[in-house]
Structures are given as C-alpha cells and as structure tokens.
A and B are shown apart, each in its own frame.
Chain A
Amino acid sequence: MASPDIHEPAMSSQVEGASDYIPVGTESQWQLIRRRFRRHRLAVASLWVIALFLLVAIFAEFLSTNDPHDVQARYTYAPPQRLHFIDVQEDSGWRIQPHVFGYKVEVEPEALRRVFKIDEEKKIYVRFFVEGHDYNLFGLIPMNRHLIGTENPRDPLFLLGSDRLGRDVLSRLIYGTRISLSVGVIGVILSLVLGVVIGGLAGFYGGFFDAATQRTIEFLRSLPSIPLWMGLAAAMPPSWSALQVYFAITIILSLLGWTELARVVRGRFLALKGEDYVSAAIYDGASNLRVVLRHMVPAFTSHIITAASLAVPGMILAETALSFLGLGLQAPVISWGVLLQEAQNVRVLATAPWLLAPGAAIVIAVLAMNFVGDGLRDAADPYNNT
C-alpha cells in the first residue's frame, strides 16, 4: 500500500489548538546548520584536515625546508631521512634534540650504481626558526626564517626524499599545495559566478533564455572532458609565461565546471518561484533584485556552498590529470600534477617510491573535501527534517 504520510507528528500536538502555547527560543538557519554539521564527525575532522592544507598553502615558504627549485646534484633520488628526537650522546647521556642522519654513497658492485645509505656517524641537528633560502612572506615581507632547517644550510635535509634533480620532495609538495588548491578554489569561484548568474537568469526569467542555456549545458556536458581539456590546453600559445598558463588552465576548467552549478541554481530558482513567500515579497512591492537577493538567494546559499565545496575536488583532480599528461601547468610552476609527472616511469618508481607522496596528498585532500561537502549537504537544509 501507500507509504504512511505522517502529517501529524507529535511536534504539532503541542503547537496546534493551544493559543497559550509559548515556543522556546528559536535558532537562525546558520545556527541550525552549524549544529547539524557538528553531528557529522567525519565532516568535522575533514574540515580540520582542510584547514591544515590551507595553512600549508598560505605559509608554504615558511614551512618548506629547502628551496624547491634548488638542484643538488649530489643528492639525486636520495631516500627520505627519518627524523629522530632523542639524541644519545657518546658520554652515555641523552637529551631531546631533533636530528637526522646524513648520507653516505656506496656503489653496488653488480649494477654499478650509486646507492644512498644512512650514515649513522653523521648527525645533522634540526633547529627551529633557522635562516635558510630567501623568500617574501605573502609576496611582500622579505624573510629568510623557516620553521625547521639544518644548522648548516649545506647539510642535506630530505624528510620525504629527493627527486631526479636532487630537489626536496617535501618542499615541492608544500609549494604544490598552494598552486593545486588555488586552482581548485579560484576555478570554483569563477564557475560559481558563471553558474549563479546564468542559472539564476535562466531560472528567474525562464522562456527562451532558459531553453537556450539548458541546451548549451547539455551540449557542454555531452563532450568528453579530457579530450576537450587537452584540445583547449594544446591551443594555448607555447610562448605564454607560467603564470599565464596557470590562469588559462583555471579558466578552461571553470568554463566547463559551471554547468553543474548553473543547474543547481536554476532548479532552486524554479522551485522557489512558486513559493507563496516569494509571491508575498513581490506583493510587498519589493524590486526584482530585492526579491532575488533578500528572499530567494538565502533559501539556497547553503545549497550553493555545498555544490561548490563538492566541485573543488573535481577541479583539483582535473588540474592534476592535465598536468600529469603534460598539458596543464608547466615547470617551473609546481603543482601536485606536475610533481606526479616525475612518477610516470615505473622504473623510477621502483627506485624512488617516495615520489608518489603528492598522490597521497591529493587523495587526502579530495577525500576531506568530499566529506565536508557531504556533511554540508546533510546540514544545508535544516528545515527539511527527513
């Protein structure tokens, strides 16, 4: 038979009929959303993870241990060093002093290749707030302090190993976080603007414009995305600087990413147009702009935020895929995708598996963003108590 429609839940038993009913204090929409979001443990934890990634992106120069572009030919494919905390002195005492051990090079007799071994004799002390390579904090303040570093800048410190040119993988990963996250966020902001404006106009005015945008969206979504990105990326003039390529890639990604958001926005507008309270606002004499901004948009900002937060990982993955194929960002720009280019060769991976570290970063970031997006989606509509 039919599903039971519970149109008289117990809540209303206190509400109806009694004119002396005094409701308890009520919370605003955002308070309700926050409360429901907090109940989603995984989403809350993921939010902290994302906050960590953002901090890393903002303070990349300060956090990096080496200059990511610094080529140290002596240390190609150096394995990760383990960070030790307890320093046992020769005179049998001990103290807490973080340090790593240096490398010694041996030559394998059969293959005749150089192999790095950890040299327990050579202690390299790691200090906080040491001076290292120069940088401008936030692009403005000239500094050379770093969170951690070696006492002697010439000593090696490769916590995640080094790559083909002896560059520090950890530092490159930290710099890559900035580029990859910003591509995702800026790309989503661009597609959000496009999606909200186009979807909003289509939903609010309907008619021919609506039909035209819907068909356009359907056309765009029917195109296979990777060949299309490749085509657009290949069309970029090779003379462009790394920065220009970066913006071009972001724009290409968002030009294709707005369709999903436009659909969400259009759908919400269509649904809301029929609501009595929107009619009421029109009858209150409110202008179209006020009706949209004051009465309609607040009803789905939470949905937009959700859709956007779910779109960011997609963008990041798209950038990674393009760069991995060598069509996206180009060296010397560092992004996770560019870093993974290093890991394209199986033989390289066999000798230097730590080059996959950017892959782990991508997985963690994308998962965390998806969890947050899910949590937001569940919390987004506190009035739909299902």
Chain B
Amino acid sequence: MPGKDNQTVLQVTGLSVDFHLGKATVHAIEDVSFDLRTGRTTCFVGESGSGKSVTARAVMNIVEPAVIREGTITLFDLEEGEELNIAALDADGPKIRAVRGARIAMIFQEPMSSLSPVHTIGQQIIEAIMLHQQVDKKEARKRAIDALAAVHIRDPESAVDRYPFEYSGGMRQRAMIAMALACEPDVLIADEPTTALDVTTQAEILKLIRELQDRFGMAVMFITHDMGVVAEVADDVIVMYKGKVVEHGQVVQVFHNPQASYTRQLINASLGLEEAPARPVHGQREKPLISARNVSLNFPPQRSWLGSKGSGVLALDDVSFDLYPGEILGIVGESGSGKTTLGRVLMGRYQPQTGTAHFSDRDGNSRDLTSRDSFRDKQVYREIRMIFQDPNSSLNPRMTVEQIIGEPLTVAGLAKGKDLRERVAKLLSRVGLSPGMMERYPHAFSGGQRQRIGIARAIALDPRVVIADEATSALDGSIRAQILDLLLELRDELDLSIIFIAHDIGVVRYFCDRVAVMNSGKIVETGTAHQICDNPQNDYTRKLIAAVPRPDPLKRKLMPPVAAE
C-alpha cells in the first residue's frame, strides 16, 4: 500500500514499567521511547531479561502483574486522524480490548502453547475476526480461509477445520500469523516468533512476515535475541540492556557503526560464530574412541489393548560415524532428525535393533554401547558424560550445587566429606564460578551459570568423552560464546573428545572439527567443519546452511538487500 508507508503509527515516549515484588520494586524498563512506522520493521534486540518482551506487552497494555509507571503510548488512527493513549487506558476496559487484536496484534514464541488445543484453527481465527469485525459466521469463515491461504498453508479449506496438534511447528506459527493478521492490524508485534523453530522453518516464517508486511503495510515490532535475524529483517534496530535503550538507529548503521559498547559486544558474539578462528586441527586419526557402524533404531508403535497402530518410527537409519581422541564432532540436524536419540543410544538409554557402537575404554577394552551389558558396571558412565540442553531442568532444584556436582563422585565412591568439598570447589573454579557458591540451590543462578554447573558435573569424573546435547541453544549470544570457549579450553586441558549435538550450524563452524549432518535419522554428509560450511555437497546441507541468517544487513540472504545510505 504505497502512500501508507513510513508514517508514524505508534509513538512511545518515556515509558517505564515496574514490577512490585513484595516490598521491593524492580524497574523492568525505564524511559523507553521509540516510533513504529508503517511498512517498516523495528527490531528490539537484547538478551533475556533486557526488557524487550515487557516493552511489547506494555504496548498492548498487558503488563500485569507489573504496572506502567509513566510514559505515553500513542496509537495514531491514520485514516480518521485520531490519537489514543494506550498507557492511560484501563487494562481490562472495552477501549483497550477494541485495540488488541484489531489494531495491534501479537504473535508469540511458542505457537503450541499460544493456540488452544481444544479448538480447531478455524474456530480460533473466526473468533478473532468476529470479535472485531461486524461480519456473520459464514463471512468470517471465508476470511479465515483467505487468511490461511495468505500465509501459504496448503489446502486452506480443509486446514481450517484441523486442530493445532495436526499442524507442524512452522504451520502453527503460520496459523498464529494468519490469526494475528485476520483483522488487518496497523501494528504487528512478533515476540521471538522463530526462536522455537528450525533454521529452514525460520527462514520461511521470516520471508512470510516480510511478504505480508509489503502487502498490508503494517508496522512490525520484531523482538529477538538473534543478531542474524535482526540483520535479515530489520529496518530500524533498538538495542536494550537491563531495561534501557542503549542504541537506536537504522540497521546498517547499527551493524557497521555501533555506538554503544554493548551493541558491539552483541555483534562480536554473533560474528564469532560466523567466522571461525584458525585453529590447529585436533584429533589424531589413528584409532577411534567411538566407532559406530550401521546403527538403526526403530521406536515400536504405541501398543494398546486394542492392538498396535502404525509401524513405529525409524529414529536412526543406518548411522555410522567415528569419534577420534581429542576431536569435537558436531552432529547437526533439525528437530526430529534423530540427533538427540543418537546421543541417548551412546548413553545406553535406548538399545538399537541393529548395528554396533564400539567404545574403547581406559583399560583398552572394547565395549559395545548398543548392548545394555556394557553399562552394567557403570564404568562407561565415568568415561562418557553428558551436558544437557536446558540448564533449568537438568539440575535437581532440591539439591545444592555441592550435592549436584558431588553426586557422580559420591556415587563412584571417589570422595566424601571434606575431600568432596575440596574437589567440588576446584571444579567450580575450573568452570569459572566462585567456590563460595556451592551451598546455593540452582535457582539462584542465571542460565549461563547453571550451564557451567552442568559442565562441572560432567567433568567431575575426568571423562574422556563428553556428549553435549544442544548445550548452548538455550543461551543468549554472548553467554553462548563464553560457554563454547570454556568447552574448548576444557577440551585442551583435559584431553576431551566432544560430541556436540546442535541444530545451529553457525555454532558448529566455530566450535567443531568435524561435522555430521543428520536428516530424518540418516547421516547425509560428514566432513570437516570448513568443508561442510563452505562447500556442502548434499542438498539438504546446502539448504540448511543457506537458511542461517548472517549478522550483516549488507549480506542478506533471505530478504531484499537494504540500500546503503
């Protein structure tokens, strides 16, 4: 819609939001000001807790239990020429409800939990349409089908009557977008809309949002912590840190001439993953530590008293790989590719139907990890350790850090009492935490610190192999880089071999020596990190790499390039 472009549709000035926690008051955001313009995308970037989501919620006046302390949020009606101060409205009143969904719409990070599981996609979109537009049910249904077609959902006439669980993650996010856009809002707030998605799906969703923006001319407020995504989609960038705006500018300027040191830090952390440093090649290629051959695992179908349904899922399909001493082997693939299952097979959780995985233990014995017997004497658990993806759920909330890190030592009977405390203290300082923290419970630590605790637990038994299952994907950019560097240091110091399971091929280039790419249970390509990243042979690998957003707005891959100004 030309003519509607580049007009201010939402103006925020001096916005502050407070949380009242008992007697204390926490300033979630302070003195935030910005404009949203039609046809333009403004990216809000910052690490978790920087206040970007709170800002988005304040724009819709849904900050409860927090309160908007001061500031104005002015929504302009461009056709009528009217103004509305959202910050002054009653948060439950009819006026703000007429705005929400109709003029400002929002899409969330988790499409599964944002959609009602007991209503069809169609019912949910129709509800949104009928709330805000004077149309009958038949017309609303027609518009819902149009909306689904607009977000490229195949066969929208039948898709409209399906339930969210019948949709894939990407389709659910498309349905969310269809719902948000059904009333043709002036402002679309996208709160980390692609964080939970695989890179290839992310690329599709980003393209879709851009396409719809060109069509409807709405202003997009895009919240993300991923600098690569920012570089791809943003026109303007607002960098937030601890509730304050530290940088505000056009995307090229922010990336190529950042003013705030924090912005520079963010960009460097993301560039580090993009351009791998020159490192000596690790791993002697003599005798592999783990040698997996033709491993296939079929999860049997759900059996019930009424008989079995389906033929099961082939989670691993003829997988073979070698892990050499001292190397970091990346296993990359999208969700459902079988990479996590592979890690669990190596830890003895699942026994594959066919294939072998030989591990030569410290005493030189060869143990077959596909057989349950190999795990009976617990020796394998001392030599192969695991780091988990989610630092919140992998630490027992009812145990102190000392107990958590000490658990493998206690179980193995290696230390107790004062000796145990000393070893835990040493491990804590080894992973960069103060030994004085050992009496605290995990909830007192940040995500990055918790992941360090997880690493300390993994190296407590002086292992030879560490399996890191998405160990950094729950972390923010700069913290992720710190954790990766810690793992690199530990690899050199303790002579570890690491199997690094990841969906983010950007991390892999920085971190891994060799990479195996997995797709629906098969390893489709194996090679050194450089070969895979720079010269992929397999189609799927190529698709995967092409979908990774680059943290440079001048080298956009998915979107039309910005004109350098």
Contact = CB atoms under 8 A, between A and B. Distances in A.
B53 A15 contact: no
B381 A277 contact: no
Interface stretch (B108-116, B275-283, B325-333, B356-364): B108-116
Contacts of A90: none
Interface string A134-170: 0000000000000000000000000000000000000
Interface string A277-310: 1011111111100100011001100000000000
Nearest to B223: A8
Contacts of B437: 23
B53 A8 contact: yes
Given A280-B457, A285-B408, A17 B241 contact: yes
B407 A23 contact: no
A283 B385 contact: yes
Interface in A222-253: none
Interface residues of A, number: 46
A2 B113 contact: yes
A16 B49 contact: yes
Contacts of B440: 23, 25-26
B388 A285 contact: no
Given A2-B108, A5-B113, A26-B441, A16 B100 contact: no
A219 interface: no
Nearest to A299: B398
Contacts of A23: 437, 440, 444-445
B70 interface: no
B443 interface: yes
A275 interface: yes
A276 interface: yes
A13 B476 CA distance: 13
Given A17-B50, A23-B445, A283 B106 contact: no
B476 A10 contact: no
Contacts of B243: 13
Interface in B34-66: 47-54, 57, 62, 66
A1 B100 contact: yes
Interface string B396-410: 111100000001100
Contact of A298 (B394, B398, B478): B398
B47 A285 contact: no
B157 to A, nearest CB: 24
Contact of A295 (B128, B396, B441): B396
A4 B62 contact: yes
Given A4-B57, A23-B445, A276 B388 contact: yes
B381 A15 contact: no
A238 to B, nearest CB: 43
Contact of B110 (A5, A6, A15, A279): A5
B540 interface: no
B58 to A, nearest CB: 12
A95 interface: no
A5 to B, nearest CB: 6
Contact of B446 (A10, A16, A24, A294): A16
A277 B393 contact: yes
A280 B49 contact: no
Contact of A1 (B128, B305, B457, B482): B128
A295 B393 CA distance: 13
B18 to A, nearest CB: 8
Q: Which of A1, A5, A275, A299 has the most CB of B within 10 A?
A: A1
Given A23-B444, A26-B443, A285 B26 contact: no
Interface string B77-112: 000000000000000000000001100011011100
A18 B478 CA distance: 11
Interface centre among A5, A9, A10, A298 (most CB of B within 10 A): A10
Interface in A1-41: 1-19, 21, 23-29
Nearest to B17: A10
A383 interface: yes
A4 B61 CA distance: 11
Contacts, number: 151
A21 B446 contact: yes
Contacts of A276: 388-390, 393-394
B243 to A, nearest CB: 6
Contacts of B62: 4
Interface residues of B, number: 70
B205 interface: no
B19 A9 contact: yes
Given A1-B101, A13-B26, A13-B49, A279 B21 contact: no
A112 to B, nearest CB: 72
Contacts of A280: 386, 388, 394-396, 454, 457
B382 interface: yes
A5 B50 contact: no
A41 B533 CA distance: 63
A24 to B, nearest CB: 8
A279 B398 contact: no
A290 B411 contact: yes
A180 to B, nearest CB: 35
Contact of A8 (B49, B408, B441): B49
B447 interface: yes
B147 interface: no
B135 interface: no
A286 B411 contact: yes
A18 B446 CA distance: 9
Nearest to B482: A19
Given A2-B113, A17-B241, A295-B396, A383 B443 contact: yes
B416 interface: no
Interface string B407-430: 110011000000000000000000
A280 B381 CA distance: 10
Interface string A343-386: 00000000000000000000000000000000000000001000
A25 B176 CA distance: 42
Interface string B461-482: 0000000000000001011001
Contacts of B446: 12, 15-18, 21
B378 interface: yes
Given A5-B110, A26-B443, A299-B398, A284 B28 contact: no
B398 A10 contact: no
Interface string B371-397: 000000010011001101110011111
Nearest to B412: A285
A1 B396 contact: no
A8 B381 contact: no
Nearest to A17: B47
B473 to A, nearest CB: 14
A301 to B, nearest CB: 9
B148 interface: no
Contacts of A15: 49, 445-447
Contacts of B105: 1
A275 B391 CA distance: 11
B238 to A, nearest CB: 16
Question: For A8, A282, A290, which residue has the most chain B Cβ atoms within 10 angstroms?
Answer: A8
Contact of B407 (A10, A28, A286, A298): A286
B543 interface: no
11 contacts: A2-B176, A8-B52, A10-B28, A13-B242, A17-B48, A17-B49, A17-B50, A26-B440, A28-B441, A284-B381, A294-B407
Given A285-B411, A287-B411, 10 more contacts: A5-B110, A6-B57, A8-B51, A10-B66, A17-B446, A26-B444, A276-B388, A280-B396, A285-B381, A294-B407
Interface pairs A-B: 3 shortest CB-CB = A2-B114, A10-B19, A23-B444
